[in-house]
Amino acid sequence: PTTPPMQRRLASKMRFVADLSQCLFDFVIQLLPTTEEMAVKEDVRKLLERLIRTIEPDSRLLSFGSTANGFSLRNSDMDLCCLIDSKERLAATDLVTMLGDLLERETKFHVKPLPHARIPIVKLSLDPSPGLPLGIACDIGFENRLALENTRLLMCYAMVDPTRVRTMVLFLKVWSKRRKINSPYKGTLSSYGYVLLVIYFLVHVKNPPVLPNLQQMPPLRPITTEDTHLAGYNTWFFDDIELLRQRWHSDNTETVAELLIDFFRYYSRDFSYNTGVASIRAGLLKKESKGWQNDLSGGRYNDSRERNRLCIEDPFEIDFNVARCVTKDGLYTIRGEFMRAARVLSTRPERAIIALAELCE
């Protein structure tokens, strides 16, 4: 007996989706950093920590960003944060200048101290060598405790459902870099922004949700404001992942490929860019309620107009729009790329690998 066309289409769709999930795993696995690369980076961190301690004996140098949250790709840069545990410490500006001088004298790094930037940092890079074929790029900042906490939050989200979350995030990072829409300096979105878009989608858009809202789960024991607040912001979230794995279970059984296809569809068509704010803490918010509306009335130049085209609330610094660097043109390009990706995946070529190659070309 012949199979009816409906059933044939469904079977072909299911085959494509299964095939695409497998391709996505294979694709991201080969882009993960090698153990050797991770060891070299850890050695660099230790070396830099030793040097900084000659200036500030009570300091620690910690990794944040992708090297610390499990979303690292081969050859991604290192984000380091220096914490100083003593009360009498040098001002960040002075430390940046002194550290810059010291590293220039004592190491082979190219050093660029930026003592007067909004957030003072020292930028370092190392030329490629046989042991490190792609070199290293690294930023050292100071006392950025909120960044350490948001790194820990993203790491916990990755640990709740490692396969689906990490595969989606890593793929989107590669995709956004290859499609050239991952440069806040050029009006598009940072990696951090894309990661927040993925988590927002998995917590608040998918029904049933793939991830719980870690910031809204009830704490296991009473907590005080002092325990949870940092620089005036509430940084509490449920971080006992072992316990969470025992107690929380997602009813969403979609595969990575299904989630990715739906992610592109949602951000090309359904997210309310004009009025909405994506908040992983609180769900969909209104720009109005945050005072982030873009002023389209013309007239006097209004700084907020370019700043709030795309609105993504930082999980802790809730008065901060992570996507504030995204310009009108930048958002147009990003949405165009979401649409293109949704289109490529919906045409379902014969083999999923071809779709992936086309997606990232």
- Residues near ligand ATP (CB under 6 A) are 64-66, 71-73, 76-77, 79, 147, 150-151, 173, 190-192, 314, 322
Interaction of residue 79 with Mg ion, rule CB under 5 A: yes
Q: How far apart are the first and last CA of the chain?
A: 42
Q: Rounded distance, CA 124 to CA 137, Å? A: 6
The residue (of 189 and 211) whose beta carbon lies closer to ligand ATP is 189
3-state secondary structure of 278: strand
Q: Is the peptide bond before 208 cis (omega within 30 degrees of 0)?
A: yes
16 or 142: whose CB is closer to ligand ATP? Answer: 142
CA distance 132 to 79: 18
Choose the binding region for Mg ion from 71-79, 95-103, 145-153, 207-215 (rule: CB under 5 A).
Answer: 71-79
The pair of structure tokens assigned to 216 is 């809204």
Token pair 């829409």 is at which residue?
A: 181
Least separation in angstroms between residue 139's CB and ligand ATP is 9
Look up residue 330 and give its amino acid. G
Q: Residue 17 binds what, of ligand ATP, Mg ion, none (CB under 5 to 8 Å, by partner type)?
A: none
| 70 binding Mg ion? (CB under 5 A) | no
What whole-number distance in Å separates Cα of residue 158 and Cα of residue 170? 11
- Amino acid occupying residue 254: E
Distances 355 to 17, 125, 254, 351 between C-alpha atoms, Å:
11, 36, 19, 7
Cβ nearer to ligand ATP, comparing 153 with 261? 153
| Among the listed residues 39, 33, 142, the one whose alpha carbon sits nearest the alpha carbon of residue 84 | 142
- Comparing CB distances to ligand ATP, the nearer of 56 and 149 is 149
Among the candidate windows 19-27, 65-73, 92-100, 145-153, which touches Mg ion by CB under 5 A? 65-73
139 binds Mg ion (CB under 5 A): no
In 3-state terms, what secondary structure has residue 24? helix
Shortest Å, Cβ 187 to ligand ATP: 13
Read off the tokens for 322: 């992570």
Q: How far is the CB of 117 from ligand ATP (least distance, A)?
A: 14
Closest approach, Cβ 79 to ligand ATP, in A, equals: 5
Calculate Rg over the CA atoms of the chain.
Answer: 22
Picked from Mg ion, ligand ATP, none, the partner binding residue 330 (CB below 5 to 8 A depending on kind) is none
In whole angstroms, the minimum distance from the beta carbon of 101 to ligand ATP comes to 26
Dihedral sign of CA atoms 236, 237, 241, 245 in order: positive
Binding status of residue 65 toward Mg ion by CB under 5 A: yes
Identity of the residue, 55 or 155, whose beta carbon is nearer to ligand ATP in the bound complex? 155
Interaction site with Mg ion (CB under 5 A)? 65-66, 79
